[in-house]
Amino acid sequence: MQALRDWDYEGFRLVHQGLHQPFLDPVFWVISSTGLGYVQAACILVAGVFALRKSGTPVGLGSLFGFQRAVWWVSPLLVSLALSGIASSLVLKRLIVRDRPSQLEFAVPQEGFFHNSFPSGHATTSFAIAWTLLFLTWKTPNAKWGWVLMAWASLVAFSRVYRGVHWPTDVLGGAALGAVVASLVYVIFASRIPAGDRG
């Protein structure tokens, strides 16, 4: 356990202190903000509207099918967001007492937090959304969007350490929890989304 604590400490120091550049602060503020639940929910809904418009059937029965397709995509992502947020913030953070690295003497946190550190809620929800989309689009042309979201989730996780509010293991734990939640959501929704609508 001591080796893991040492790795966590040195990893935090490297990212938060060693890689810090003033011009990157606003960049990672924006990236980190996309890990907020209400921002993610809004983005998912906007993506659903885009999917509806892309169906190219604005009226009549075709519009109903286009709406249904949008719902097929929006629903699992919103469920994944909700479940991962509950699991991280309302369950694990209350069970696991862990101080944030912002309390270290060399830390200059860019946000103020007072509750427990593990796991990172931003990382959990971001990876839950990304894994869910990747699982549902696996081996289809749309899988590229799953990989895009995986890259985004990784940047969100990195930003939490960079901004001085989480340990590396907080975001790794969040990524793992997100994958578990996404797996559950995939089991629930995979059979409900027609194969033709995944690609």
- Give the CATH number of the domain where residue 146 resides: 1.20.144
Q: Which two tokens stand for residue 197?
A: 């609508």
The answer to whether residue 67 scores a pLDDT higher than 80 is: no
Helix (H, G, I), strand (E, B) or coil at 14: helix
155 CB-side CA count, 13 A = 15
What percent of the chain is predicted at pLDDT more than 90?
A: 57
Identify the domain containing residue 40 by its residue range.
2-197
Q: How far apart are CA 20 and CA 117, in angstroms?
A: 21
Q: Which two tokens stand for residue 66?
A: 């286009």
Helices 121-137, 37-54: crossing angle, 10 deg rounding: 20
Q: How far apart are CA 28 and CA 177, in angstroms?
A: 23
What integer is the mean pLDDT of 78-88?
A: 96
* Segments in the chain forming alpha helices (H): 2-12, 25-33, 37-54, 60-85, 93-95, 121-137, 143-162, 168-189
Identify the residue with better confidence: 75 or 49. Answer: 75
- The number of distinct structural domains making up the chain is 1
Residue-level length of the chain? 199
Digit-coded pLDDT (tens) for 124-181: 999 999 999 999 888 888 889 999 999 999 999 999 999 999 999 999 999 999 999 9
According to the model, what pLDDT value does residue 61 have?
36
